[in-house]
Structure 1
Amino acid sequence: MRSIPATPRLLGALVLAGLAAGVHAQGPELTDADYARAEQMVNYKAVPLVDHAVTRVSWLDDTHFAYDDHDASGDHYRRMDTATGRSEPLFDQARLAASLSKLAGGKPIEADKLGLRGIAVAPDGRYKLEVRGKTYLCSADAVCAEPAKGEAKGNEPGVLSPDKKSEAFIRDWNLWIRDVATGKETQLTTDGVENFGYATDNAGWKHTDNAILEWSPDSKKIATFQQDQRQTGDMYMFTTNVGHPKLEAWKYPLAGDKHVTMIERVIIDVPTKHVVRLDMPADQHRSTLCDDVSCGPDGGWDDVKWAPDSKTIAFVSTSRYHKHEWFRIADAATGKVRTVFEESAKTYYESGIGKANWAYLPATHEAVWYSERSNWGQLYLYDLTTGKLKHAITTGDSVVTEMLKVDPKSRTVWFEAVGRTKGLDPYFTQFYKVSLDGGKPTLLTPEPADHQISLSPDGDTFVDAYSTPTVPPVTVLRASGDGHTLATVAKADISRLKAVGWVPPVPITVKARDGKTELYGLMFKPSNFDPHKKYPIVDYVYPGPQIGSVGSRAFSPARVDHQALAELGFIVVAIDGMGTPYRSKAFHDAWYGNMGDNTLPDQVAGIKELARRYPWIDIDRVGIWGHSGGGNASTDAMFRYPDFFKVAWSESGNHDNRNYEDDWAEKYQGEMVVDKDGKSNYDDQANENHAANLKGHLMLVHGTMDDNVPVTNTLLVAQALIKANKDFDMLLLPNMHHGYAMDNPYVMRRRWDYFVRYLMGGTPPKEYQMHPTMP
């Protein structure tokens, strides 16, 4: 057909039609009111709207615990007696607020918003409270004071002895003790020097003033180490300010370094100050649990355990690449070491999730040991005399996550596990007890829910907060013997949360990349969801391997800002892909040695399946975002799947693990092997090597003082994108660390804007002001 030339009148009509179409293609214009509605779903707005959600408690002694029972009138700190099941106010809160306000200065502390970050019992019987970043000692009648220094010359953080009379701390690279009552300080070691100090806490990504050590039960000995970083490489950062910047430098070993941090194990006799160096070569700065020498939630040193008589210690040595473990026992007086048994893994060994799940039972010459040798994380019993396996304590296609107590007298183990109850979400935590001699475990938490457990110090009772992602928690006190309920602590009420428009997430299951393996996740829809519309979808990703995208299956009124983002007109999903924990060893190992995988094949497969299932998902508008490992994965998605993912927001990504601390990468990627041509098995995981594939919109975000993932990780990607002549966006946050602190609300708002503008095709309100609630 022959074309007809356009007349001036017709040409004008075509231009106007094109302009109209362009306006229509831009999508909706969102207002301040739209963002304000979404902001109601952010944690600082949503969490205070949940009443009586008691999920964390602070044990004061064997039979009393403290908790915060929040409701519409504020926070109510209470104390429950486990013997009677009765609770009462922990303080006269008005008096406590007045006392704390005098000490803290500045803005007065409100009685209904005390903002206590921790409650513990000090050695003198007073309550130790953390408020606004400072510690105070308060009596039961709410009279508070700052801790007295006595003769103490410093305020270094200390590790309290079992008898609560002394605390050990680090000063000038040496270990000291401080008398709690008088403040008198005594130096225990004298040969500690810079980069070869005692008990020092430095994993590179984490570096604090805390002392890593274990006191003996009789409070007379300390097991610790002298940490050798003399040949370890340095990390540098500098502040942003007017005038000369401040340089920060510390030891930060990288994957592939010839020299990494090592430890020399020692035992210190406190009364005599005698240091016994264990009779063995220097050990790797590694643990069975994580990518630090100690990562347990309760402090201390995960892989060191004293005998009750304080004469020996058991410890586990881990090889550099986490493939080999040695269970050893040392004589505290002589330093003589005996290797009892070993375990190897083709990929990497882990001792559990949350805690190092092994126990030293010298009275019966036994040890409880954790292994995934059956493809599932289970407990085993070893003979310490022969070093031989006696039998499996637990079995089955399930995972023991945390062993909370072992009682040698009754030969009982109490543990948390997932996947033991068929038909239940395999990520729901339940609590069990089992005999050291094996047999069927006893379920102590029968409700079909996720259970958060807090065991009493003596192990006789436990607080159980059970919930699901859609049902708020019920918190009860239970007996550890059989799990029967002793008292109800609280039942959560979400009426006020629902009144502002909150809707629960939708649990989802999809198939993994192999088309067979079930993956679990959550989907978030707008509260005004219309099934006749088409919604862009945003994938929140954390690839693991140490945790997944969803996180805890316990109830949460605000998971990151997923529901808030959904309120703006998106479908938001979080899917735990292969390579993440809480499932089988094979599931966790799915992409070992191939960190560029980043669980992305599972994310793509899962989103495609959801789009086939739900016609209101627009498969042509897929976005992705994440922080840290998720920042890595979201950028990686734009480079490896440029036609699928259209927009990515990537925060603080470890984009090249050759520029991240050694332990994490070497555990999950393995040893770095460099060929003669300079190429290595780490090349493919580096995002900058794939930057030329970018097609869509990519925002890179990083704090300039990030001492976990150095900002150079993002700058390497930016450099590669520039060389590839690619358009991209970047936001650097001056002086911010790995978490964004006061800049978080700004970053969140900018993230919303980015998805509204480039994925939805809409227009965000101009510089909407977020309204975070600060304590």
Structure 2
Amino acid sequence: MASKTHGARLLGAAALIVLSTGVAAEGRTLTNDDYAGAERYVGYNVTPLVDHAVQTVTWIDDAHFWYRDHDASGDHFVRFDTGTGKAEPAFDHARLAAALSKALGKTISADKLGITTFTTAADGRLDVNLHGKHYLCDMKDAATCAAGRDESVEGIGNEPGVLSPDKRSEAFVRNWNLWVRDVATGKEAQLTIDGIENYGYATDNAGWKHSNKAIVVWSPDSKRIATFQQDQRKTGDMVIVGTNVGHPKVEQWKYPLVGDKDVTMIERVIVDVGARKVLRLKMEPDQHRSTLCDDVSCGRDGGWDDVQWAPDASSLAFVSSSRDHKQAWFRVADIHTGDVRTVFNESVPTYYESGTGKVNWQYLPASHEVVWFSERNNWGNLYLYDLDSGKLKHAITKGEGNVTEVLKLDAASRTLWFRGVGRQQGVNPYYQQFYKVSLDGGAPALLAPEPADHTITLSPDGRLFADAYSTPTTPSITVLRSAQDGHVMNTIARADITRLLASGWKAPEPFTVKARDGKTELYGLMFKPTHFDAAKKYPIVDYVYPGPQTGSVGSRSFNPARADHQALAELGFIVVAIDGMGTPWRSKAFHDAYFGNIGDNTMPDQVAGLKELGKRYAWIDMDRVGIWGHSGGGNATATAMFRYADLFKVGIAESGNHDNRNYEDDWAEKWQGLLTTDKDGKSNYDDQANQNHVAGLKGHLLLAHGTMDDNVPPYETLLVVDALIKANKDFDLLLIPNAHHAYGAAANYMMRKRWDYFVRNLAGDVPPKEYEMKPPKD
């Protein structure tokens, strides 16, 4: 046992500054075998034990798709013919493995190809993507592979491209300008010429995210591109400094902060590809905002979410958002003159969102209509507007429950297909199901009725859809269904967890508790040791992510490993995750629960839920309550330790955005509001700053951060460290040199330190010394 100290010591691969080690543990001494038993349930060990779990498919054309199947013998890429129901290998795995082995200079196994995705190139070769590195493989005769673009390395020729609808061209950014590349020949052409540093075309920089991809929307005829010139010349900088021998590596980029007078703006343009001309829309610069999240591009397809072309490419529709997200304007642009017409707008007291997971508004110029998403009745529903007058025609969907994602709209039949939650009585309100509804109203038809979470992949023509459905406790069944009535046409795969169960794995237990108000139902998952004994008392650990953009539990689809919850439970803990009020998927009022008060962090709900569980189960020791979280969860953990210290005895706050005045502008200004300061110098952001509450700390707190975190800068944690030192508080600090937000190669080290910290300080046991995590080698 080390004595209390205000010194520092270096441990292993990371610096651990020990400011409080507490007293010696008096419990049992855990061994390497105990930790190895827990590690059996980490994702890299249990995920490979699930066979035939096909979550999504990739459509090749209207009648064929491919998917990756996995079983004990390895990975298999399968091509499925929807007409015949026949599944066969998508390519010759052995031939491709041999060709890749030769190209890479190392042995590639046919059952472990390592492919992320693949497509067929214009010349017939197979374009395989190995985590960003492309190889063009000729599978005829003596199969060979040639190295293609390497998107993992920045530089000329490796820029990631956005493919045109006709698949002949791809747009990309180079030296602040927009270019196109002919897919077949590789010939390149520069489309814009006046892009300069920090005032470039199609550039991707949200502050917390900054990449080299192009943010564009191609017109359906592949002749024009909608994009923007992003003005961040006056935007403030973020600077982080690396750790190395010699002069340190310095990273500097534009990173607007809450309250900044000058933030990143976009100037909307339309580029004529053939003529290489830029048409600037006749409007003031727009905010760098989305109706979906805190970036102009945040949907899963990586496109520009709030922009849609007319099907005949004759006009362009888009939605502008105010800086505080409280107002959204639906607009239409003339692609020949640049004139812009505002059709209608929606203003809300808190924040406007257009969906959950996808922007849901739809542009229907042929019928002079707009489908609009709104939560005006406390639920996410769809409404039909007149495009000419801007007037509401009628509601398309009504009542309780949310439309989450509009996946298809057929203007000819006036039918719309969408995923939704909370619309079926008696079904878990987080389970996504699939519906179709007429634009002219009427009750939606349920096409995926099983009470489970449904992942839907529509065919390009919308006639069919692959449906993978599961729950946190039941593995997935994947079927092919008709989009007209939902009837099952074929079974694609049935997940088999025989090998997983043989490992001793047990499913988490869903539960409900009451929220802070004593009335609202909250949903969570509980993880127990596989050797659980109801006669014992177990310390409890609350994993927290407060939102507001997502919650603690995550997807309700089957997942054999959620973070390291089961692994930690195996060391003698009860682990829970609870989606508190202020997180999405439920009603608007539920989501708005702590709007303007980020310091809430769902903690009143976490406290209420934990106390209810403690009363319900005698085997939960409410004198030993711990909490941990990452990013927003790191913020919430510190809040718990400072403001609810009588309940939470041990906390691990990883990479927390502890004061959102030091985080990028968009996220906090959406949830907390614009920064306001009164004549006394007090602001509406003072209370949310964790460093202002350090006096409340009583228990054991471990703060952790990567020193090259370009999402949540490390200064966020150092603000809290500074305040704790000034308050003469004992705490622990783990800074991981050169690590980004998710810690990269040090993630497993952090996981082990997390186990050690709870084992020692919450369970009162002694962890094995320097246990080494053993992830499988590639």
User: How does the TM-score come out when normalised to structure 1?
Assistant: 0.95
Instruction: Report the alpha carbon displacement of residue 154 of structure 1 after superposing the two structures with TM.
Output: 2.2
Describe the SS at the equivalent of 2:33.
helix
Alpha-carbon shift at residue 59 of structure 1 (Å): 1.7
Match of 1:147 in 2: 148
For 1:371-770, what aligned pairs fall within 5 Å after superposition? 371-770=374-773
**RMSD between aligned residues:** 1.5
1:25 is displaced (CA, Å) by: 6.7
Q: Matched residues in 2 for 1:178 and 1:425: separation?
A: 47
Q: 1:690 to 1:249 in 2, by over 3 A?
A: same
Kept in 2, the 8 Å contact 1:197–1:228? The answer is yes
Letter in 2 for 1:92: D
Letter in 2 for 1:686: A
Aligned to 2:201: 198
The 8 Å contact of residues 624 and 649 in structure 1, kept in 2 or not, is answered as yes
1:684–1:190 distance in 2 versus 1, CA, 3 Å: same
**Residue 45 (str. 1) matches residue 45 (str. 2):** yes
Change in Cα spacing, 1:132 to 1:306, as seen in structure 2 (3 Å) is: closer
CA distance in 2, matches of 1:691, 1:739: 25
CA distance in 2, matches of 1:276, 1:762: 68
Q: In the TM superposition, what are the counterparts of 1:294-333 in structure 2 within 5 Å?
A: 294-333=297-336
1:271 aligns with 2:274: yes
Counterpart in 2 of 1:4? none
Query: How far apart are residue 696 of structure 1 and its match?
Result: 0.4
Distance 1:338 1:526 in 2: 60
Match of 1:3 in 2: none
2:112 corresponding residue in structure 1: 113
Counterparts of 1:54-453 in structure 2, within 5 Å, are 54-105=54-105, 107-139=106-138, 143-147=144-148, 154-453=157-456
Tell me, yes or no, if the aligned pair for 1:316 and 1:325 is still in contact at 8 Å.
Answer: yes
- Taking a change above 3 Å as real, the CA distance of residues 545 and 774 of structure 1, as seen in their structure-2 partners, is farther
Counterpart for residue 9 of structure 1: none
SS of the aligned residue for 1:596 comes to helix
Task: Point out 4+ residue stretches in structure 1 off by more than 6 angstroms.
Answer: 22-25
Aligned residue type for 1:386: S
Describe the superposition over 1:515-559 as per-residue Cα deviations: whole angstroms up to 9, x where unpaired: 000000100001110000000000000000010000000001001
Distance 2:772 2:469 in 1: 36
Q: Quote how far apart the aligned CAs of 1:45 are.
A: 0.0
CA contact (8 A) 1:60 1:121 kept: no
State the Cα distance separating 1:242 from its structure 2 match.
Answer: 1.0
CA contact (8 A) 1:29 1:762 kept: yes
- AA aligned to 1:362 is P
Inter-partner Cα distance in structure 1 for 2:774 and 2:569: 19
Q: How far has the Cα of 1:352 moved from its partner?
A: 0.6
Q: Distance in 1 between matches of 2:695 and 2:149?
A: 60
- Find the aligned partners of 1:748 and 1:23 in 2 and give their Cα distance: 22
Deviations 1:37-82 (A, max 9, x none): 1111100000001111111222222211111111111111111011
Q: 1:500 to 1:310 in 2, by over 3 A?
A: same
The runs of 5 or more residues in structure 2 that have no matched partner are 1-21
Deviation, 1:125, is 4.1
Cα distance in 1, alignment partners of residues 131 and 159 from structure 2: 18
Task: State the Cα distance separating 1:100 from its structure 2 match.
Answer: 1.2
Quote the residue 1:12 is aligned against. none
Q: Which amino acid aligns with 1:593?
A: G
Worse overlay, 460-469 or 153-162: 153-162
| Residue deviations 1:436-495 (CA, integer Å, cap 9, x gap) | 111011111111111111111221111111111101111111111111111111111111
Larger Rg: 1
Aligned residues: 751
Residues 412 and 48 of structure 1: CA distance in aligned 2, closer, same or farther (over 3 Å): same
- Residue 346 of structure 2 aligns to a residue whose secondary structure is strand
Distance 2:637 2:127 in 1: 42
CA shift, 1:373, in A, is: 0.3
2:297–2:304 CA contact under 8 A, matched in 1 = yes
- Distance in 1, Cα, partners of 2:120 & 2:260: 44
The one-character-per-residue Cα deviations of 1:255-294 (angstroms, maximum 9, x if unpaired) are 1101100011011111111211101111111010000011
Q: Report % sequence identity.
A: 71
Q: CA deviation at 1:140?
A: 5.5
Distance 2:29 2:664 in 1: 44
- SS state of the match for residue 338, structure 1? strand
Deviates further, 683-692 or 109-118:
109-118
**Alignment-mate amino acid for residue 425 of structure 2:** K
Q: Deviations over 1:325-376 (max 9, x none)?
A: 1000001010011000100010000011111001101110111110000000
